[in-house]
Amino acid sequence: MATNNEIEFKQLLSKDVYDKFKYTFFEDKEPFIQINYYIDTPNFTLRDHKSALRIRVKNDTYEMTLKVPADVGLMEYNHMVKHIPKTGDVIFNNSLPEDIREIVESYGINDNELTILGALRTARLETNYKNELLVLDRSDYFDKVDYELEFEVTDYNNGLKKFHSLLEEFNLEHTVPNNKVQRFFDYKNQIDK
């Protein structure tokens, strides 16, 4: 098990601006593919607690991550798991890693309530930018595609200055987007109506 205090800044991009970032910073890079299988209750109890649970498939590995609010950023609880995810699967509380199970149950989530609600496929590019991690994502979910810039940092204030400076180079004003899981569930709600 690993925990991580995640501090990152994000910006949604148009396809044209995505291509400009790709050409400027990632021209010689090949994307890697990761698929996030998002898990929640039918009533979105985790989302309502500003938390998110997923199983990420990357390079034939399966990592379960629970993200919960922290004083700064998010606290992540990460565990390698053997569960091969499939949309519609029920995740039983007793199959969760202990620390994740304790948090889930503290939210009042009973056994048999957690379900894999769908998958989001991301083609991700990564590079070092000013000693921080710059990430460019193209994500596909249902019939939608979106483009996102992420900047993962170790210090909030210094990272924010670097991120704003980067956006200024591309004449972008920082607009904080919903995170991927929120966008995924918002779109799922739209198409389920």
CB 78 within 8 A of CB 1: yes
Is the pLDDT at 7 greater than 90? The verdict is: no
Structure tokens at 37: 């299988």
Architecture of the 7-33+122-192 domain: Beta Barrel (2.40)
- The token duo for 10 is 């994000």
Q: Given this model, what pLDDT does residue 29 score?
A: 93
pLDDT digits (tens, 9 = 90+) for 141-164: 999 999 999 999 999 999 999 999
With residue 169 as reference, give the H or E element that holds it.
Answer: helix 156-169
- Work out the number of other CB atoms within 10 angstroms of the CB of residue 104: 24
pLDDT tens by residue, 31-41: 999 999 999 99
Q: Specify the CATH number of the domain 35-119.
A: 2.40.320.10
Distance, CA of 76 to CA of 133 (rounded, Å): 17
**Residue ranges, CATH 2.40.320.10, the chain:** 7-33+122-192, 35-119
pLDDT tens digits, 39-55: 999 889 999 999 999 99
Query: What band does 4 get if pLDDT is binned at 50, 70 and 90?
Result: low
Question: Over the stretch 85-141, which tens digit does the pLDDT of each residue have?
Answer: 999 999 999 999 999 999 999 999 998 999 999 999 999 999 999 999 999 999 999
Q: Answer yes or no: pTM beyond 0.95.
A: no
